[in-house]
Amino acid sequence: MLKKDKDNVIKFLETNLVPILFVIIIAFALPLSGFSIRYLFNEIIVRLVRNLFLVLALLLPIMAGMGLNFGMVLGAMAGEIGLIFITDWNITGLNGLFLAMILSIPLSVLLGWMCGKILNRAKGREMVTSYILGFFMNGVYQLVVLYGMGSIIPIASDSIVLSRGYGIRNAVNLTGIRQSLDRLLPVKIGTTLIPVATFALIAILCLFIIWFRKTKLGHDMRAIGQDMAVAEASGIDVAKTRIISIIISTVLAGFGMVIYLQNIGTMNTYNSHEQVGMFSIAALLVGGASVNRAKIGNAILGVVLFHLMFVISPMAGKNLIGQAQLGEYFRVFVSYGVISISLVLYAIRKQRDRTRAGIALADAQEVPE
Partner 1 sequence: MTFLNRIIEKTGWPRLIIALFLLSLFIMAPFAEVKIGTSLSDTLIRFGMNGIMVLAMVPMIHSGCGLNFGLPLGIIAGLLGATITIELGATGTSSFFIALLLATPFALVFGWGYGNLLNRVKGNEMMIATYVGFSSVAFMCMMWLLLPFSSPTMVWGYEGVGLRTTISVEGFYLHALSNIFAVRIGTFLLPTGMLLFMGFICFLVWAFLHTKTGTAMTAVGSNPVFARASGVNIDRMRTISVMLSTWLGAVGIIVYQQSFGFIQLYMGPFYMAFPAVAAILIGGASVNKASIMNVLIGAFLFQGILTMTPSVMNSIIQMDMSEVIRIIVSNGMILYALTRVKKGAH
Residues that bind partner 1 (CB under 8 A): 118, 121-122, 124-125, 127-129, 131-133, 135-136, 138-140, 142-143, 146-147, 323, 325-326, 329-330, 332-333, 335-337, 339-340, 343-344, 346-348, 350-351
Q: Which amino acid is at 287?
A: G
Contact 99, 237 (CB under 8 A): no
Closest approach, Cβ 99 to partner 1, in A, equals 28
In this structure, which long-range contacts are made by residues 191-194, counting pairs with CB atoms below 8 Å and at least 24 apart in sequence?
191/38, 191/42, 192/38, 192/41, 192/42, 192/45, 193/45, 194/45
> Whose Cβ is closer to partner 1: residue 201's or residue 274's?
274
> Whose Cβ is closer to partner 1: residue 188's or residue 354's?
354
Cα–Cα distance, 118 to 113 (Å, whole number):
9
Closest approach, Cβ 303 to partner 1, in A, equals 21
Of 338, 368, 317, 283, the closest CA to residue 18 belongs to: 338
Closest approach, Cβ 141 to partner 1, in A, equals 9
Burial bucket for residue 64 (CB in 10 Å: 0-12, 13-18, 19+): buried
What are the residues facing 153 on neighbouring strands?
A: 149
List of E strands, the chain: 171-173, 186-189, 192-195, 266-268
Closest approach, Cβ 350 to partner 1, in A, equals 8
Cα–Cα distance, 342 to 49 (Å, whole number):
25
Closest approach, Cβ 281 to partner 1, in A, equals 11
> Whose Cβ is closer to partner 1: residue 132's or residue 193's?
132
> Whose Cβ is closer to partner 1: residue 213's or residue 349's?
349
Cα–Cα distance, 321 to 123 (Å, whole number):
47
Query: What is the H or E stretch that residue 51 is in?
Result: helix 37-56
Q: What is the 3-state secondary structure (H, E, C) of 189-212?
A: ECCEEEEHHHHHHHHHHHHHHHHH
> Whose Cβ is closer to partner 1: residue 109's or residue 343's?
343
Cα–Cα distance, 222 to 216 (Å, whole number):
10
> Whose Cβ is closer to partner 1: residue 35's or residue 329's?
329
3-state helix, strand, coil in the chain (%, to 5): 75, 5, 20
Cα–Cα distance, 201 to 61 (Å, whole number):
21
Cα–Cα distance, 259 to 76 (Å, whole number):
11
Closest approach, Cβ 201 to partner 1, in A, equals 32
Neighbours of 367 (CB within 10 A): 4
Closest approach, Cβ 78 to partner 1, in A, equals 18
> Whose Cβ is closer to partner 1: residue 203's or residue 344's?
344
> Whose Cβ is closer to partner 1: residue 108's or residue 335's?
335
> Whose Cβ is closer to partner 1: residue 128's or residue 360's?
128
Closest approach, Cβ 128 to partner 1, in A, equals 4
Closest approach, Cβ 351 to partner 1, in A, equals 7
